[in-house]
Amino acid sequence: MKMEPINLYKILFKKYGNLNWWPMDKAYHVKTGSDPRFEIIVGAVLTQNTAWSNVEKALNNLKIKKMLDIKEISETDEHTLKDMIKPSGFFNQKAKRLKILVDHFCVNHDADLDKFFDRDITEIREELLEINGIGPETADSILLYAGAKPIFVVDAYTKRLCQRIPINIDISYDHIQDYFQKNLSKYYAGTDLSKVYNELHAQIVILAKEFCKKKPVCDKCPINTYCKYKKEPILANP
């Protein structure tokens, strides 16, 4: 039995409901007058190669010092920034990436995220991918979660899932993204489509952590009737 993304979304939505990802501290931004979208952007960089719990610690450090702002990070020396984001791991690399990114916002968009996001999605994506340290997953996370742009984010969990259920496509970022977007855009459009991409990506992450692990828990998985791994685990990639 073939599973299309629309079926996957309906099953996982029934299981998990609205997950309202990406998490951010709205109260902090109301209090400081900062842009909550920037917290998402920083989080998208910091979450590279680490668990979200570590990112939260780094973000909290930035909040304590009221540094979760484009201009604040731009004006902060790299050594101080490294110290703040140390819990996220690879802090030397990530501090450089954040400094490059915020300097780009300042020089090219006057540190104004409205100006940055008020453009065609293709133009923004191409620009992000030209920035050092911003790959497809980080760029698309920024576009979807900070910019509310209709683009599907593909991560390692999504790739694992596509290997296990019968989705007969090249397991590469671009091919998976294209497959999901072509299917789901038949049923949703505009802000509804962005919302579906948002929810489905978050639902896949939860599914992968609870059931579709490296060593999967197939018996209780909500999509096990579709899964070729459950039927023939030797033939399906982990």
- Domains observed in the chain: 5-19+152-231 (1.10.1670.10), 34-146 (1.10.340.30)
Residue 208 CA to residue 100 CA, distance in Å, equals 32
Q: Give every CB contact of residue 206 below 8 A, 6+ residues apart in sequence.
A: 16, 19
* Closest of 104, 120, 123, 121 to residue 112, by C-alpha: 104
Please provide the size of the chain in residues: 238
Q: pLDDT per residue over 10-38, tens digit each?
A: 999 999 999 989 989 999 999 999 999 99
What backbone torsions phi and psi does residue 150 show, to the nearest 5 degrees? -80, 90
235 to 213, 231, 232: CA distances (angstroms): 16, 9, 6
Q: pLDDT per residue over 125-178, tens digit each?
A: 999 999 999 999 999 999 999 999 999 999 999 999 998 887 766 789 999 999
pTM for the model stands at 0.93
Continuous segment of H or E residues that includes residue 80: helix 78-85
